[in-house]
């Protein structure tokens, strides 16, 4: 597969894993219309927008939008971010047959969601490098 599909495969392998499923955090990718869900879920967006070390490699950011109930403080956001971070930060994934290496996660931009004010939203982000082969 190409580098963009490979990155997607590596990232999705995390959220398809049995360990992640037992976390019971509803998880959706970008461009999925989220319906009939409760007040707590995450949305995963892959942005492979940076250069790689060669033509078959790429770098970028994984953005995880974390949604929790508005008005209940920041603790649940932090807890979910820590859970996500424990699966990604410093980890290497090879589900694609190549290598995706994740660095250190960060959390920011926490605010009441503009589209749905009953939700509080924060953005967890982590940069990655995908190494293809020439």
Partner 1 sequence: MGYAGLVRTNVGLAFDMLGDLVGDVIFHRNDVSGFDFSTKQNVTAPAVSTTVQAIVQLSKKQSKKRNVVNKSLLLQTVDLPDVTSYDTVEISGQIWNVGKPILDDGYVVTLEIYREV
**Which residues contribute to the site for partner 1 (CB under 8 A)?**
8, 12-13, 15-16, 26-29, 32-33, 35-36
Give 42 or 122: the residue with its C-beta nearer to partner 1: 42
Q: Tell me how far, at minimum, the Cβ of 125 lies from partner 1, in Å.
A: 19
Q: Tell me how far, at minimum, the Cβ of 37 lies from partner 1, in Å.
A: 9
The whole-angstrom separation of Cα 24 and Cα 46 is 21
Long-range contacts, 88-95 (Cβ 8 Å, 24+):
88/14, 88/62, 88/126, 89/126, 93/10, 93/11, 93/13, 93/14, 94/10, 95/9, 95/10, 95/12, 95/13
Give 26 or 118: the residue with its C-beta nearer to partner 1: 26
Q: Tell me how far, at minimum, the Cβ of 14 lies from partner 1, in Å.
A: 8
Give 28 or 99: the residue with its C-beta nearer to partner 1: 28
């Amino acid at each position: 597969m190409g580098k963009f599909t490979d990155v997607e495969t590596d990232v999705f392998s995390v959220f398809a894993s049995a360990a992640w499923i037992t976390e019971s955090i509803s998880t959706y990718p970008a461009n999925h219309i989220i319906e009939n869900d409760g007040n707590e879920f995450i949305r995963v967006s892959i942005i492979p927008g940076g250069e790689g070390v060669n033509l078959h490699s790429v770098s970028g950011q994984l953005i995880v939008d974390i949604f929790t109930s508005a008005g209940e403080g920041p603790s649940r956001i932090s807890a979910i971010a820590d859970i996500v971070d424990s699966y990604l930060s410093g980890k290497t994934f090879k589900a694609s047959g190549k290598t995706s290496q994740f660095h250190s996660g960060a959390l920011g931009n926490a605010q009441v969601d503009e589209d749905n004010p009953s939700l509080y939203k924060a953005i967890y982000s982590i940069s990655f490098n995908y190494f293809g082969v020439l």
